[in-house]
Structure 1
Amino acid sequence: MWRHSSFSQGSDQTCVDVSIGTGAVRVRDSKDPEGPTLLFTEVEWSAFLRGVANGEFDLPNR
Structure 2
Amino acid sequence: MTTWRTSSHSDETGGHCVEVAQLPDTLLVRDSKAPDDDRLTLTPSAFATLLTRVKHDEANL
Both proteins in one fold, TM over 0.5: yes
Q: Taking structure 2 as the reference length, what is the TM-score of the superposition? A: 0.71
Q: Cα distance 1:3–1:11, how it changes in 2: closer, same or farther (>3 A)?
A: same
User: Which of the pair is proportionally richer in helix?
Assistant: 2
* Unaligned runs of at least 5 residues, structure 2: none
Number of residue-to-residue matches in the alignment = 59
What is the aligned-residue RMSD (CA, Å)? 2.2
Identity %: 31
Residues 1:29 and 2:43 are matched in the alignment: no
Q: Is the 8 Å Cα contact of residues 13 and 31 (structure 1) preserved in structure 2?
A: no
Distance 1:15 1:35 in 2: 13
Gaps of 5+ in 1: none
Superposed, 1:6-45 pairs within 5 Å as 6-45=8-47
Select the structure of larger CA radius of gyration.
1
Which of the pair is proportionally richer in strand? Answer: 1
Contact 1:14 1:31 in 2 (8 A): no
